[in-house]
Structure 1
Amino acid sequence: MDPGETKEEDIKNNVIAKVEPIGRDEFVAAGTKGMKARHKFTVWENEYKEESEVLFNGKRLSIYRIYGPKDDGKVELYAGERVGNT
């Protein structure tokens, strides 16, 4: 779903995710897409509804790459900020 115009309009889906730091290679690859990589989130495939953003620790991050589903039924979501955002 597209994010709302205001925080109150956002539709939030809480999921349990494994959060990992971004490796150097991924950080460089994200930079070629105009993104500053922040985190990799691993979630169950059935919990991911093609959202374009993640709210993590009070910060809104854009999902710029998705990997999966893998054999274990999980999807990796790579999230970051557009270069130039504060």
Structure 2
Amino acid sequence: MGLFGEVVLLPLAPVRGAGWVIRQVLEEAERIYYDPAAVRAELAALEQRLEAGEIDEDEFDLLEDELLDRLEIALRRDAGTDKGTHL
């Protein structure tokens, strides 16, 4: 893009900068959400809640399925086979 194009788009620089920041925040949130260690820790905490009687078997099964889905996605991402999945 030439100098004229840069001058014309200069007022949009804060918007482009905000877009970059939003993308970075989303990527970090997604990285944390799909972190296998974090998902395993959540599974362990979920099992403790079941054993403590805080949740019943049905709720446990539902939440466990969601966590196992996240773990599967995380492991596929680590293997490099599922780079296109996003939040």
TM, length-normalised to structure 1: 0.22
TM, length-normalised to structure 2: 0.22
Greater helix proportion: 2
Larger radius of gyration: 2
Greater strand proportion: 1
